[in-house]
Chain A
Amino acid sequence: MRFLRQVLAVARKDLLIEWRSPARISGLLFFALALLLLVAYANGGSTFLLPQIAGSTLWIGLLLASTRGLDQSWAVELERGALEGLVLWPVMPAALFYGKAIANTFVLLIVLLALCPLTMAIYDVGVKEDYLIFLGLLFFGCSALAAPGTLYGAITARARGSSVLLPLLMFPLIVPALMAAAKGCSALMSGDIFNEAEIWLWLLIVFNVVHWSLSGLLFRYVVEDT
């Protein structure tokens, strides 16, 4: 119970900081939105091609925005030495990780939920049924980016050349999640003829289970002195 309270306290703290500096989250949103528009323009607004790439572009946009967001979420902790304060405060390291990862999931989810209608308008697609599966894909896709991203963010924020290192570590790792989320969303947007969206949702869940448990176990080694 104490653990859960701490997780919630950390998550609440991060979300409060996001709430008090709304420029950051809207920055992420407009970054991803610009990317969506650019891809649409680069393809010349082709009515044939755009609906097909809507799902993948949405997730690539979110992925690129997420590296900025994850970087920022750790920069806040390092700015005034708050991270060491958290480690030395009576907060369990795992609770610190899960709290931050949950907060990052929500930040990504907010950006994604704002992006979805815009994508559907620009790329002329829509989801007609299976709303639950679609929402599941969105949620578990965000949490799949947040878990390894939060762990690696803690590493790279304190290393040299962090802006290159985070994508370098994170991008290959989240390929399965990205593929599942993008393919699942694409399938739903084009009517899901092969009934594949549910398979992709299950893959995302497996990815989440593995990475959320593993990162939680390893996080303590990353933040503590040895």
Chain B
Amino acid sequence: MQGDSEAGLHVADVSRRFGRRWAVARASFSLAPGERLMLTGANGSGKTTLLRCLATALKPDHGEIRLAGECLWTHRDRHRASIAYFSHAPRLYDDLNATDNLKVWARLGEYSIDAHSLLEQVGLPPDRTEPVRTFSAGMRRRLAFARILMQKPRLVLLDEPFSALDPEGRTQLVKLVDTLCGDTAVLIVATHLPRTAISLCHHGIHMEAGQITWRGAHDDHPLLKGAT
């Protein structure tokens, strides 16, 4: 999993602390364009913090993240457009309906979209006019995913993408992620469900207490072996 050229994502010694605790300590890995990584670990092992550092929501206290040869934090204004981050928070406005939500985000980011087809892609009825407030958790997740589908990302970060989704939704999501990433985007999926994510990923990293404790090809993942 060593991306040798400057292209792609290079994470070197990245550490971030909250108060007296290192939530992520010395995380290092490199991913070439098109490579896909599965990030596993128990709750509180630092997966989300690492993803938030990669998404430039947090500044690493130590170490450096380079995307396409540039320091991500220094050039965050430029790179944010090419990072698609699917987080726990759906980032929706409860008072607007699904179409308006998508249109609002598209206008903010100056993306031209077809809200109707985006909604169909994620399996939501495109002609519903109720505000998002009335949606179920799974529907919100779908709509939140439609929101990042409008981006043309170089780096895709998915944080527990399968939570609150029904089995059908999970297979749908796997397909959508495939099309979103294409051949060139770097994908990192943080998940508790390695079985579902495995078809997406080439490599695996396991974290414990903020540190990387295992890395390798996705199919000798320790969690998968323990399960069988």
Contact = CB atoms under 8 A, between A and B. Distances in A.
Check whether chain A touches chain B (CB < 8 angstroms). Answer: yes
Interface of A: 2, 5-6, 9-10, 12-13, 16-17, 20-21, 76, 79-82, 84-92, 225-226
Taking residues whose C-beta sits less than 8 angstroms from the other chain, chain B's interface range is 20 to 34
Given A6-B108, A88-B80, A225-B58, 6 more contacts: A16-B96, A20-B131, A82-B93, A85-B147, A89-B105, A92-B77
Contacts of A10: 108
Contact of A20 (B90, B96, B108, B140): B96
Contacts, number: 76
Contact of A76 (B55, B58, B93, B131): B93
B107 A225 contact: no
B162 interface: no
Contact of B83 (A6, A12, A88, A225): A88
Nearest to B79: A90
A12 B103 CA distance: 11
Contacts of B88: 81
Given A81-B87, A84-B57, A225-B57, A90 B109 contact: yes
Contacts of A84: 57, 87, 89, 91
B108 A86 contact: yes
A85 B59 contact: no
B94 interface: yes
A9 B108 contact: yes
**In the complex, which of the residues B93, B105, B140 has the most CB atoms of chain A within 10 Å of its own CB atom?**
B93
Contacts of B105: 85, 89
Contact of A90 (B80, B92, B96): B80
Nearest to A5: B110
Contacts of A16: 96, 100, 104
A81 B57 contact: no
B120 interface: no
A10 B107 CA distance: 9
Q: Secondary structure of the A side of the interface? A: helix
Contacts of B131: 20
B114 interface: no
A91 B105 CA distance: 10
B56 interface: yes
A90 B56 CA distance: 12
Given A9-B107, A92-B77, A80 B96 contact: no
Contacts of B57: 84, 87-88, 225
29 contacts: A2-B110, A9-B104, A9-B107, A12-B107, A13-B104, A16-B96, A20-B95, A20-B131, A21-B95, A76-B95, A79-B94, A80-B90, A80-B92, A81-B87, A81-B90, A81-B91, A82-B92, A84-B87, A84-B89, A85-B91, A86-B108, A88-B57, A89-B105, A89-B108, A89-B109, A91-B109, A225-B58, A225-B59, A226-B59
Contacts of A5: 110
A226 B55 CA distance: 14
B71 interface: no
B224 interface: no
A88 B85 contact: yes
Contacts of B80: 88-90
B91 to A, nearest CB: 3
B42 interface: no
Interface in B13-59: 55-59
B158 to A, nearest CB: 14
Contacts of B59: 225-226
A62 B104 CA distance: 29
B81 interface: yes
A20 B105 CA distance: 16
A82 to B, nearest CB: 5
A5 B111 CA distance: 12
> Which are the 7 A-B pairs with shortest beta-carbon distances?
A81-B89, A85-B91, A90-B81, A21-B95, A9-B107, A13-B104, A20-B95
Contacts of A20: 95-96, 100, 131
